[in-house]
Chains A and B, each alone.
Chain A
Amino acid sequence: MASDLLSIGKSGAVAARVALDVTAQNITNASTDGYIRRSVLLREVAASGGIGRVGDVSLSGVTLDRVVRNADMFRQSEVRRTGADAARANAEVSGLQNIEDALDQSGVYDAIVGFEGALQQLASDPTDASLRASVVELARTMTRTLNIAASSLEQVGEGLRFEAADGVGQIDLLATELARVNLRLARAADASSDQTMLLDQRDHLLEQLSRYVDVTTTFAADDTVAVRIGGASGPVLVNGGTAGNFAMTTAADGTISFTLDGNPATPQGGSLAGKALALAKLKDVQDGLDAVANSVIGAINAAQTGGVALDGSAGQAMFSGTTAADIALAFDDGGMIATAPAGAAADSRDQTNLGAMRAALATADPAGKADSLIFEISSAVQGRTVTRDALDSIANTAKITLSAQAGVSLDNEAANLLRFQQAFQASGRIMQVANEIFDSILQIR
């Protein structure tokens, strides 16, 4: 007879206490980011009989087998994957929206139409000083608006590059942290609370990392993780206790690329990939805006030099510069607009050259170019927004599914609290019975 009622009761009380502790831990961490619900797994303690003692009853109560961490690896990796996609789409859309704002709100289109209109009005009386002044002023408005649009676009680019640089810093930080967690995981004892906490940390770091770049993970038997960037064959960011050095390079045209330990890395997801895409689009838009500015400069200046000004002198170029950023008005005097053809006398009302100027402007069609540029970027924004919304809801669903499975339900924990409290009380009662039995034996006279 190897059973001991008192120690069985004690083991039950201890197990119930542990279960209550775990429940309390779950309740207090109900809204902790990255916390995964624990539950206790209990195991019966009983000895099987040896030779000659087959009939013995040998029971020793219960013991805590391990604390189970209710994590689902598949759902976690889904959260990382969809989260990286959503972060990429979000970063790209917000970058593109900024580009759209810079172009649309600066009023480039309206300013070009205003200049066109002023030239058209000048046709009603090419020698009228006020109409000439109005052409000069509207030309000035157009050049300044183009300057403003160009500098706004430049600022959008700077903002994107700044955020990308910050993201790169974050990745390095997270990778170092993850390497440290890997080292500690390799040393932690199985099923210890230390290990579960480290696993929580590991998964939380991976999720944070996946917001910046898409990560491919490989888990080892000791629960350490190896991380690759940009697909399964990409360069290794973290392996065991070593973290790679992730860096960003800015090209002369403002686009960015990434390297990992000197090797090129191309993230397919995450906010960094989105920012790289937005910057590539920004370059296209900047080139387009420069083309608009250049078409105005080319058309007007060519016509100007082919005619004569109001005072009979040869026409001068109206605009200086070659791009949207440096286009400027070359003269302030409305009299220098060359409305008359070459060879005309001073104060000529002959407006052949004004007609040529307007025809050249109509052929260059800067307003149409600006319109299609705005159309291009705004339809890009619209298309990406649809994708973004879809990816966002997919990522949200994945996150909520994981949270539903791995998160804490307070109602469940309340029920557990009652259950383990009762278990504790019952174990206490066992010990009381053991005591009473012992007493009754002692009382035998």
Chain B
Amino acid sequence: MTSISTSTAAFYDRAKADMATLQKRAETLEQQMSGGNKLQRSSDDPVAASRLRVLSRADSLSNIDKANSDRANADLTLADSALTTFADYIGRAKELATQAASGTLTTAQRAGIGYEIEQIHGNLVALANSRDSNGHSLFGGEAPGDAYALDGAGNATYVGTPSAGDLPLGDGQSINRGITGPEFLNFDLNGTPTDLLAEVKALAAALQGSVADPQQAARDGMAMLDTGLEKLTTGQTLVGSRLTWIDLTTTRRTNLSELRADEQQTIGGTDLAATIIDLQQTLTVLQASQGSFTKLASLSLFNLIS
């Protein structure tokens, strides 16, 4: 005798398989919602998972770029304020030179001014040797120690490296991390290269009587200080433009990171509304199949035979 009806075991097997599928689907949706991630593992969507990995790599490297550019920003700001102090000193030195250029002063008074300028020279050397936020010389390029060394006679010589070196800011951009002493202290005076520190020292010595005509030396000194101040201002502009460059790259980095966050959300984030509706649908179907299963399972001919 053949039968086309389904067997009892087949009925239970089928109900079990169907309900297990629905249950699994509901569970996956629930996981997606509670985790906020569409992807539980890379194999859920290999392309999206790979993209997410690349994005998170870019994110973490970008954070380091930010730390680096913050450091460069701090150092350049320090250099900027040091340059302002330089300018203040030069201003003061020029005042003194102007006084000394006046014919009404006695030699002793002029020597006194020369002494004050000598003190300024000392301050300038100290300032040129100031340190950055990491304790390295601010104007010595990549030199391990001071930027300027003093010899026995008190002459300052530059001992730093020619350049401050580049600092990568990410996305292939980099910045010269600082400014070296010669970049704002060395200039040409009447066609001869010289540097501000040496000239100020010479002026101090001249006013104290090392030359025959201190008054003329004071007048020359005024012109020299003007040229020096000009060079210093150029240096300050350079620092300012580098700070602006850092600002620009920071803005760009922020924009990129917003874009990345947006993409991460689109690729890997859960669309709550859609997921909730999916879950509700799955649960409704599950409930219905559970209900119909119990109804069918309770229907047995044995109950009716008495």
Contact = CB atoms under 8 A, between A and B. Distances in A.
Interface stretch (B44-52, B193-201, B208-216): B44-52
Nearest to B3: A412
A375 B72 contact: no
A178 to B, nearest CB: 24
Interface stretch (A276-284, A295-303, A342-350): A342-350
Given A121-B68, A381-B43, A411 B300 contact: yes
Contact of B71 (A125, A404, A412): A125
B5 interface: yes
Given A113-B57, A374-B53, A418 B43 contact: no
Given A104-B41, A349-B143, A374-B42, A406 B7 contact: yes
A378 B60 contact: no
A409 B8 contact: yes
A349 B50 contact: no
B60 to A, nearest CB: 6
Contacts of A396: 13, 17
B168 A120 contact: yes
Contact of B42 (A104, A116, A348, A385): A104
A166 B143 CA distance: 68
Contacts of B302: 410, 414
Given A412-B5, A414-B305, A407 B10 contact: yes
A31 to B, nearest CB: 6
Contact of A378 (B49, B72, B165): B49
A128 interface: yes
Contacts of B44: 382
Nearest to B7: A407
Contact of B10 (A39, A116, A400, A411): A400
Contacts of B71: 124-125
A378 B52 CA distance: 14
Contact of B60 (A113, A351, A377, A417): A113
A408 interface: yes
B13 to A, nearest CB: 6
B118 interface: no
B1 A39 contact: yes
Interface in B22-39: none
B144 A415 contact: no
B167 interface: yes
Interface in A345-389: 345-351, 367, 371-372, 374-375, 377-382, 385
Contacts of A410: 8, 300-302
B8 A68 contact: no
B192 interface: no
B136 A125 contact: yes
Contact of A374 (B1, B49, B61): B49
Given A114-B60, A125-B71, A371-B54, A404 B46 contact: no
A70 interface: yes
A403 B13 contact: yes
B14 interface: yes
Contact of A124 (B46, B68, B161): B68
B136 A123 contact: no
Contacts of A114: 60
A70 B2 contact: yes
Contacts of B41: 97, 100-101, 104, 378
B142 interface: yes
A159 interface: no
B53 A109 contact: yes
A40 B50 CA distance: 63
Given A39-B1, A374-B50, A381-B43, A123 B167 contact: yes
A403 B64 contact: no
A313 B168 CA distance: 26
Interface in A116-140: 116-117, 120-121, 123-125, 127-128
B165 A31 contact: no
A120 B61 contact: yes
A399 interface: yes
B10 A403 contact: yes
B61 A113 contact: yes
Interface string B53-79: 110110011011101100110000000
B8 A348 contact: no
Contacts of B165: 349-351
B6 A350 contact: no
Contact of B43 (A37, A100, A116): A100
A114 B161 CA distance: 32
A385 B43 contact: yes
A30 interface: yes
Interface in A321-341: none
B168 A371 contact: no
B144 A349 contact: yes
B294 interface: no
B65 A120 contact: yes
B42 to A, nearest CB: 3
Interface string A44-80: 0000000000000000000000001010000000000
B134 interface: yes
A97 to B, nearest CB: 7
A345 B144 contact: yes
B60 A68 contact: no
Nearest to B49: A378
B7 A408 contact: yes
B50 A30 contact: no
A283 to B, nearest CB: 19
A104 B42 CA distance: 8
Contacts of B274: none
B300 A407 contact: no
Nearest to B168: A123
A407 B42 contact: no
B273 interface: no
Interface string A89-124: 000000001001100100001100110110011011
A381 B61 CA distance: 30
Contacts of B136: 125, 127, 349
A202 to B, nearest CB: 20
A114 B63 CA distance: 11
Nearest to B174: A123
Given A117-B64, A374-B53, 18 more contacts: A30-B7, A30-B8, A31-B12, A68-B1, A70-B2, A104-B41, A127-B136, A348-B142, A349-B165, A375-B46, A378-B43, A382-B45, A396-B17, A400-B13, A400-B14, A404-B10, A410-B302, A417-B305
20 contacts: A100-B42, A104-B42, A117-B60, A117-B64, A121-B64, A125-B136, A348-B144, A350-B142, A351-B142, A371-B54, A374-B53, A375-B42, A377-B43, A378-B42, A379-B46, A382-B46, A405-B7, A408-B8, A409-B6, A410-B302
